[in-house]
Amino acid sequence: MRVLRAGAREAVPWKNGGGVTREIAAWPEGAGTGDFAWRVSLAEVAADGPFSAFLGVERTLTLAEGAGMHLTVGGTARTVTERFAPRDFPGDVPTGCRLVDGPVVNFNVMYRRGSARADTAVVRGVLALGAAPRETLLVVALRGPAELDAGAGPLTLGPYDAALLTPGSGCRLRTAGHAAVVRLVAEHPVQ
């Protein structure tokens, strides 16, 4: 298990320059916005405007902070006001955003079609987690702390801290808040 602390992340401008994002993890490591198989980040949206387009990419957006957004995805209106409820949409269709009432923070999962797959859930309580041989699991504390125990004693994740579980590993997750669990399958999983 590899711990990825929130305090170590740098704010990076969006691909289109309309906001900032803080990358949590990507595969392959060091991949840019044009060559990742999968990428997970926290995006800070402070103003209305378009989302960056990512050719051949699927996205899952989860509202983590703020009142929400009105999205227009490929001409279809979608309202995102429920926190901790993952929403899927294609990343390569024009997407516009109008904020409901001030800035928001979105938990963002992206994966390239044909190179990877990602399933995102937001959980509470106690859950046993295990990564299958070709899977990587990413756990992110979205609200409140989350505790992980892989047998060597508990590890506490603070707000927006993350843990990456490599193929074949597992742990027990406990949280009274909300934690995102992202199951990632890539052609070449994280080792």
Instruction: Please state the domain count of the chain.
Output: 2
Q: What's the pLDDT at 104?
A: 95
92 and 39 inside one domain: yes
Q: Report if residue 140 sits inside a domain.
A: yes
**31 and 105 co-located in one domain:** yes
> Strand locations in 32-134, DSSP E?
38-45, 49-50, 57-65, 69-73, 76-80, 87-90, 95-99, 104-112, 116-130
Residue ending a domain, choose from 82, 112, 142: 112
Amino acid letter, residue 87: R
pTM attached to this predicted model:
0.93
Task: Write the pLDDT tens digit of every residue in 8-57.
Answer: 999 988 877 777 899 999 999 888 888 999 999 999 999 999 998 999 99
**pLDDT of the residue at 94:** 96
Question: By residue range, what is the domain housing residue 153?
Answer: 116-186
Structure tokens at 107: 């938990």
Give the residue ranges of the chain where pLDDT is below 70. 188-191
pLDDT at 190: 58
Residue reference for tokens 């595969």: 27
Which residues fall within 8 angstroms of residue 80, CB to CB, at 6 or more apart? 61, 63, 68, 69, 70, 71, 87
Q: From CA 124, how far away is CA 171, in angstroms rounded?
A: 15
Place of tokens 């801290």: 161
Query: What is the structure's pLDDT at 151?
Result: 82
Do 97 and 17 lie in a common domain?
yes
